[in-house]
Structure 1
Amino acid sequence: MNNSRQLAFLALQNIYQQKAYTDIALERVFANFSVSPSNRHLVSELVYGIVRRKRTLDSLINQLATKKATQQPLNLRIILHIGLYQLRYLDKIPESAAVNTSVDLAKENGLSKLSGVVNGILRSYLRLSQKEDPLILPDDFIPRLGVKYSFPDWIVSLFMEQFNLKQTKKLLEWYNQTPSIDLRVNTLKTSRENLQEILLNNDIETTFLPHLPQGLRLTKSAGNITQLDCFKEGLFTIQDGSAQLVAHFLNPQPHETIIDACAAPGGKTTHIAELMEDTGTIIGFDRYSSRLKKVTQNAERLKLTSIKTMEGNVESINWENEVDRVLVDVPCSGLGTLHKNPDIRWHKKPEDIEVLTQLQSQILENSAKWVKNGGVLVYSTCTLNKQENEDIINQFLQNNPSWKLADKNNDSMSNFSIVSKGIVKIFPPVDDMDGFFMAKLIKGD
């Protein structure tokens, strides 16, 4: 099947009805139908974009239709989302094509009697947009931003507590963009320049990521790059630039013993091994053996031999020996990755944060026991939430006076937007990569 909008319709059905995650729903569609690369790109753009913009699209339906979005038959609501998203956000698709294909979708999916409703709502949007933006925003400040940028009010409020209005708007808008794909070159097997040339021979264009010696960024859509021979041969890993920063911040040295406390699926674990030139010992902990298999598989693909894995609850596991460094990349709310993981904005709830912070504190407290005197612990999250970041670190330092924040960061870390003693925070609109928090702690006597 090469009808992009029908495939998007099927994926969105799976997301709205079965509560499937966006990436899983797309994988199912692509596994069941033969899709050309160009259509694959459009299907992904439609599905990810619609999930991101769901609140805005529902608000438009509420204004243009006689029934609220949530009162519409689900299939009709999905078709209206597909049509409105194209009209509002995709400049390269002609307006007539967006309307006509949406009407066709209704007819092809048992909604022939409602095809006129689809046509009428989409044409009303076009007519109104000739004068001004048809989207009517609420008067109250937080809901106004929530509807405009398509976020639940609690996330808008959380960001407003930490950033000023201008920063918050930029952050919300950045999270609605199509994300870049970053690669980490396995410099034990090839150079960044050489991999760039190999990818170019496969019609894949990249650019160097500044301040990341192994980082490349794809400059356009490239299909499923895990099918490339150079991926299967272990020449690179798909990893966002922010996540690459974490291992550099840890600054592992050859022949050390290092624990990655929350290792699966192994992106940071294998990066540590590469930076150590595959010497010493890296031990990857995780509570699920099924997830640790991914660590092993990644290590084998990259031809790394210094990684061992161990199953256990990281917040309580006993480790008798003291090690040089520990990475504690804790489970978190993921509020730094809302462009790549749009489901988070609709699935996560404020009450989830309290449960997470308790777990994060437990993991940090227990992991700190494994570090020798003079050793290093790096705590990191892929979220921009003070409760999960600064508050956790401050509480830990109050409870553990033998620990302190590092006096200085790596020289390369000074290039990022929010840097203080022992702490680096990545702010996406400025640094153009996922939101991340990193704190480097040193154990004293």
Structure 2
Amino acid sequence: MENSRRITFEILLEYFVKKRNLNDIIDRYLKIRKPKPQDKSLIYQISKGVVKRYITLDFLISRISGLKIEKIEILSLLALRIALFQIIFLDRIPDYSSVSESVSIIKGFRGRKSANFVNAVLRKATRIPDIYQFLEENIKKVRDRNRQESIRHSFPEWLVRYWGRTYSSDILKKILESLNRNPEFYFRINTLKITEKDFYDDASSFFSGPYETFLDGTAFKIKDKFEEFINSKFIREGLLFVQNLSSQIAIRYFLNPGPGEKVLDICSAPGGKSVSSALMMKNEGEIIAIESNEKRLKILEGNVKRMGADIIRSINADAGKEYFLQTDKRGNNYKKQKDQSNDYNEYFDKIFIDLPCSSFGTVSKNPDTKYNKDIGRLKIFKENSLKILHNAAPYLKRGGKITLYTCTLSKIENEELINEFMDKNEGRYKVDNTDSIRRLVNENVRDFPEINCLPESGNIIEILPWYLNSEGASICSLIKLK
């Protein structure tokens, strides 16, 4: 236990001091330190949990210690965050264990004086009869309601205010609560290599209890043994891949590619949506997958090869640049003249764009994503997305469909983006979400009753996080008229 908590401490120290990507830090430490398999889940749980809840934890630490957070040096503050997270949010770990481990770690880093301070604050916390009631009573003393929600759910105050201008107070509360839940993991069966029935028969020994299937059995959800599935032959042999349900629905119901069609997939790494398209197309037709990042492109190519999706061809290109199917990612022309005929003009039946975004819909699994943004960043995401959409449009046939996907809930990045694109292309496109929504609801409302409230009209379809118990997402399909 001490080793796993020490690793967790070092992971969080690097995150809070250097503000690097949390997943990258965790993966690097696990690779170097090689903790026991049973300790990995605890490291993930505490590391991500502390980051997810640190605004709440800091408020509580300040109230218990009587000190402003800025007055507590970072190592002691980190030890307090880790211990209090376990005391409040992890019932299976005894309080005395959480306290003694944090005190021991801070003593090794900072000596007896810091250890005594941490011990005193934590002992005081454990003597509070009902720490949840104590926390809530102190939150209610804060006058500003947005500040209250920020502290209660540990979201930046600016983001609470931003969402509050779009959603009712009840919906806002559900968004904040659902994004703080532990993520659920969905898989997609590769029907190019195995039937649903054969997979479930073969995998029966992996399921320790009931499991849930969706989308005609092509998708399923598990609550445990995630590591076993990830390291199993099903992943190694390309019989299975991880894909959240919102992404699966975007391909199945909104893009809806069919055999023989030509599909362009933009911002396509790590390749799940390209492979999902190939499965729907029964590996017949053509998919060109565009990715600007060379490392991510290699991951995509490895995944596509393992899945046996032969119709997918990958290209290292930057869709933020004009003529991106005519140039390499550095802007060098493949052809000598830009006005020469481009073989891909009006070539594709369908285009899917996984737009760069703030990723707020993924906070349950990527908690750090809610802290490193501001309104200015959202506007930059929108402008970059608008460039990509404008650059992709000439490659779509008349009568063809562009499906846009973001894993975020953001009016600037979604609704404003579509409105600006439609204004600049007046009469050339129409929104086409109605049939997709009807099929989605009719086929899945029994499993997910919340989707029954999805509107059949409107430019953007928002999949709020609790609808599917998956990531929050926004989807829109456009038909090219001329």
Q: What TM-score, normalized by structure 2, do the two folds share?
A: 0.87
Q: Does residue 430 of structure 2 align to residue 413 of structure 1?
A: no
Structure 1 residue aligned with 2:279: 274
Q: Does residue 375 of structure 2 align to residue 350 of structure 1?
A: yes
Opposite residue 387 of structure 2, the aligned amino acid is Q
Deviations 1:144-203 (A, max 9, x none): 100111010111112212211111111111111110111111011113343334444245
> What stretches of structure 2 of length at least 5 have no aligned partner?
326-341, 446-450
Q: Secondary structure at the match of 1:259?
A: strand
Q: Secondary structure at the match of 1:387?
A: coil
State the distance in 1 between where 2:28 and 2:415 align: 39
Q: What's the CA shift for 1:46?
A: 0.5
Structure 1 residue aligned with 2:468: 431
Structure 2 residue aligned with 1:48: 48
> What stretches of structure 1 of length at least 5 have no aligned partner?
none
Distance 1:200 1:76, change over 3 A: farther
Is the 8 Å Cα contact of residues 206 and 216 (structure 1) preserved in structure 2? no
Q: Secondary structure at the match of 2:362?
A: coil
Distance 1:37 1:196, change over 3 A: farther
Q: What's the CA shift for 1:258?
A: 0.7
State the distance in 2 between where 1:346 and 1:316 align: 29
Distance 1:87 1:2, change over 3 A: closer
Q: Secondary structure at the match of 2:360?
A: coil
Structure 1 residue aligned with 2:331: none
Distance 1:213 1:11, change over 3 A: same
State the distance in 2 between where 1:132 and 1:35 align: 33
Distance 1:85 1:197, change over 3 A: farther
Q: What's the CA shift for 1:224?
A: 5.8
Q: Which aligned runs of 4 or more in structure 1 are off by greater than 4 angstroms?
A: 203-206
State the distance in 2 between where 1:101 and 1:227 align: 31
Q: Secondary structure at the match of 1:162?
A: coil
Q: What's the CA shift for 1:79?
A: 0.7
Q: Secondary structure at the match of 2:80?
A: helix
Q: Does residue 71 of structure 2 align to residue 65 of structure 1?
A: no
Q: What TM-score, normalized by structure 1, do the two folds share?
A: 0.94
Deviations 1:380-411 (A, max 9, x none): 11111111112211222222212101163234
Q: Does residue 216 of structure 2 align to residue 180 of structure 1?
A: no
Structure 2 residue aligned with 1:195: 199
**302-311 or 214-223: bigger deviation:** 214-223
Structure 1 residue aligned with 2:75: 75
Q: What's the CA shift for 1:130?
A: 3.4
Count, aligned residues: 445
Structure 1 residue aligned with 2:100: 100
Distance 1:132 1:7, change over 3 A: closer
Is the 8 Å Cα contact of residues 26 and 44 (structure 1) preserved in structure 2? yes
Deviations 1:307-339 (A, max 9, x none): 112222213342532210001111011111111
Q: Does residue 419 of structure 2 align to residue 394 of structure 1?
A: yes
The match for 1:404 among 430, 435, 439 is 430
State the distance in 2 between where 1:354 and 1:130 align: 43
Distance 1:142 1:221, change over 3 A: farther
Q: What's the CA shift for 1:126?
A: 2.2
Opposite residue 349 of structure 2, the aligned amino acid is D
State the distance in 1 between where 2:46 and 2:203 align: 27
Deviations 1:58-100 (A, max 9, x none): 1112112254223322221111011110111111122222222
Q: Secondary structure at the match of 1:336?
A: helix
Distance 1:424 1:305, change over 3 A: same
State the distance in 1 between where 2:121 and 2:19 align: 27
**221-230 or 237-246: bigger deviation:** 221-230
**392-401 or 338-347: bigger deviation:** 392-401
